[in-house]
Structure 1
Amino acid sequence: MKNEQRTVSFFLILMTIFPIVDVLNGYVLSMHYSLPVGVIYRMICFLFLVIAILLYGFRQNLYTMLTFSTIFVCGILLLIQSIVLSHTPEMIFQDSVVLIKFYLWLLIPYFVYQHQQILRTVNYDKIFVIISFLFTIGLLIPYFLNVGNQTYENSAAGYKGFYFATNDTTLAFIVASTFTGWYLVKKVGNKSGIKVFGLLALYFGNMLCLLLLATKTGILYGIILTASLFIYFVFFQNKIPTVYRVMISAVAFIFIIFIFFNGRQFIVEATVGTINRITYFYKLFDGDLVRLITSSRSDYLQGGWNYFIQSNHPFLIPLIGFGFEYRLLHFGRIGLIEMDFFDLLFSFGLIGLVIVTTMIIYFAALSLKKQSRTIYSITYLVLLIYGFMAGHVFFSALSTTLLGLVCGGIILKQGEDCK
């Protein structure tokens, strides 16, 4: 029992510190050092999860079958691709790195499933609040120290500090703000005013970070989330008397107005670059809103589809896909669509798409059960939508870690048995 508790404690620490690792990794890359901090950390996570899961043993049920069928089939598909398309050792290595990132979202919830009894005794939700805090200070501290990188290269638009990938970082703050906002609304009305103030400050920090990143999706989500939380608190938080809800809402509204007028110059400076970029690309695309909204992904999708159906193996490739590195080397920019479900199709073929989609549907079905409809259900849906529209969910180490933790939360809310 003590060994299991130590294993779970190590898992929680390992999962919680990844924002710090990503900042350190971004700093190393920015300084042009050749130390793969992120790769080393993710390899440690992967090996730990594999060893811990194997040592614990398996239950014979649907969830176990789906998880390991997905892992096995995706691995076999990459092996077949390497033979059919004559992949070089370097290509096989790069594909394996991507596959390890992909496996994280399958292994993390399975570990949670194995150790659910112990994990139910800790406040699993707080992991996301801690992650939210670490992500926020990881962006704000470099910003106020006037170091770090702009969101977009060759442009003054946005600021991402030492976080390396813009889309991944945006998604991280979307997830962080969702959990912080939910936790804030949940805690308002409790006697602990210090906790509420701390969560309010953290949520404000989340919104500030989304503003600094200055991505279209991040800013839009921040507005929608804040409005949704405000509406939920005013009209649906029945645990708090109406008078208090109205008073708190009025104070919050006045505070927001105060912040807006006193910080309007900062807000304008933070968003003007993004507005200029949108205007520039709108003119460049001759007013084509589809290309503008998708950031040219619609063009990449069309090109990727043509390569997919017109390959030298017209029967086999649609079934098994090209893999990842082959597409990048042979198709250039079109080799990465940045829409996960299409990248999944072109990389793993129809076989891979079907089995991974089955796994996705399994978690969706769990999250929609009456007893399981929680913040994890909402966040899982947000992750799927983001993955479909903007990519970087299933094949990014940062995002797959978050996705795996969210799926772990779905399992914990499900009950004792996940079949």
Structure 2
Amino acid sequence: MKLNNRTIVFSIIAITPILDSLNGLISMYLPGILEQFVPNIRIVFLIIFICGLWQLSATMFENVMLFSIVLMAQSILIPMLNGGSISEIVPNFTLAIKLLYFFSLIVYLYEYRRINNDLSDILPYIKFYAYSMPILIVIPFLLGMGRTTYENSSFGNSGFFIANNSSNAALITSMLITLVLFIYESRFLNVFLIFLQMWALVVQGTKTGIVVGIIILAMFSLHIAKYTLIPPYTYTQVILIPLSLILITLLIIFSGSWYSIISDSVSAYINPLLERQTFLSKQLGGELSSVIFSGRLDFAHEIILNLSSKNNIFLWMFGVGPSYIVNEIGHIAEMDGLDIFVDFGLPGLCVTYGITIYILFYLWKYKNFYLKFGITSILLYSLLAGHVMVEILSSTGLILLLLIINNDLLKKEKTL
């Protein structure tokens, strides 16, 4: 089979979780020159996206190239204008490439869809992305090889993924995609994967992941109830409903023996999380807002005060670069909206939130509550917790949610 640019781009999307996991595996167990393998190959992917866009639309190609030149120029000029060193250019370039990766990919996919009026052939690649995420966390966890989610702690396991929030957002995205696939396909595989993804969220152990995962499970349960309890009934429903009632009755009768098992299992996961929040509360002075945002609001306040003291309009328009903030404050805010604005100013916001909000506004007319909830959740996660829009793994997941919100990719079959 002859490979075309479309197939290559779709394949890159599908293997995104595997590459991110591989990058973490190399960093953990094979540090050295190999650590640059995945970042460098993603530069090649970025070039593929842009070249593919050139074949689709000269206008959109020029727009992407314009923003690429602006962000790359900023990466070089910002350290010079701020009196920084030449070494600051490298982290600036690294972040610029991540932002341009998101921008060029989302523009390519929507330009491709505009021309072909169909993206149904990308569905297998989306499934591969969604189905591989929980596996890449659970298997390292079971093998005892994964990385603990929180430093200086034994709690949580993120597999080989390095960025906790990024992998957590991607896992939430994969669970939402699987929920939507179940609604339109009603396959047992999707049911199994939803619970596997929930288990992976519990294994990873982040507050946001567990809460959003429970909400997704609730939506899944409500959907099952809606299409199971309303007549006319299928033969499957006639068999499954009585069996479910019998099973629930048996569980209630023998709840004494089951209660301790379930209680002990839940406590084994929840208690370490609660203990960590108690420790975090003491470390941050006990303020509820600081605990909820893990101290990010304090960093954000310091960053804004520092930039305000410069009294330079160009800093607010074009940013100061990530290295400047680390050198001046000691820590970025880890809130993507603020960090991107501080690092690359208005151009940075345009290639991330600007294009996302523009596409979301166009697609909001489609009546898919699950995907609207998912996109809103991921955007809030990015704005309040960070490492979502600025990481390729999670930002690609956001693109996939935007892609399937119009439902054209899915067959509307309900066979419950």
TM range (shorter): 0.7 to 0.9
Matches of 2:12 and 2:346 in 1, distance apart? 34
Q: What stretches of structure 1 of length at least 5 have no aligned partner?
A: 189-195, 415-419
Paired with 1:153 and 1:204, the residues of 2 have a C-alpha distance of 27
Q: How many residues were matched structurally? A: 398
Match of 1:342 in 2: 338
Between stretches 144-153 and 79-88, larger displacement belongs to 79-88
Partners of 1:122 and 1:351 lie apart in 2 by 32
Q: Equivalents in 2 of 1:274, 1:293: separation in Å?
A: 13
- For 1:245-284, what aligned pairs fall within 5 Å after superposition? 247=240, 251=244, 254=248, 262=261, 264-284=263-283
Once the two structures are superposed, the pairs formed by residues 12-411 of structure 1 within 5 Å of their partners are 12-34=10-32, 35=34, 36-54=36-54, 56-58=55-57, 60=59, 70-116=67-113, 120=118, 122-188=120-186, 196-235=187-226, 241=232, 244=237, 247=240, 251=244, 254=248, 262=261, 264-311=263-310, 314-333=312-331, 336-350=332-346, 352-353=348-349, 357-370=353-366, 373=368, 376-409=371-404
Residue 357 to residue 25, structure 1, CA distance change in 2 (3 Å): closer
> RMSD across aligned C-alpha pairs, in angstroms?
3.3
Residue 180 (structure 1) shift: 0.9
Q: Is the 8 A contact 1:379 1:406 kept in 2?
A: yes
1:214-249 per-residue CA deviation (whole Å, 9 max, x = no partner) reads 110011011111112222332378997468399559
- TM-score, structure 2 as length reference: 0.84
CA–CA distance in 1 between the matches of 2:352 and 2:370? 23
TM-score, normalised to structure 1, is 0.83
Per the TM alignment, residue 132 of structure 1 is displaced from its structure 2 partner at its CA by 2.1
Structure 2 distance, partners of 1:408, 1:24, is 26
- 1:277 deviation in Å? 0.4
1:150 aligned counterpart, secondary structure: coil
Distance in 2 of aligned mates of 1:13 and 1:348: 30
Aligned mates of 2:61, 2:244 — CA distance in 1: 50
CA contact (8 A) 1:101 1:400 kept: no
Report if the CA contact (8 A) 2:170-2:397 is conserved: yes
Structure 2 residue runs without a partner (length 5+): 410-416
- Tell me: CA distance 1:80–1:374, structure 2 relative to 1, closer, same or farther (3 Å): farther
Contact 1:81 1:323 in 2 (8 A): yes
Q: CA deviation at 1:112?
A: 1.6
- Contact 2:155 / 2:205 at 8 angstroms: preserved in 1? yes
Counterpart CA distance in 2 for 1:401 and 1:357 is 13
SS in structure 2 opposite 1:33?
coil
Q: Which amino acid aligns with 1:85?
A: N
Distance 1:26 1:266, change over 3 A: farther
Q: Distance in 1 between matches of 2:133 and 2:117?
A: 23
Partner of 1:191: none
**C-alpha distance in 1 between matches for 2:393 and 2:266:** 28
* Residue aligned with 2:321, SS: coil
> Are the equivalent residues in 1 in contact too, given 2:300–2:333 (CA < 8 A)?
yes
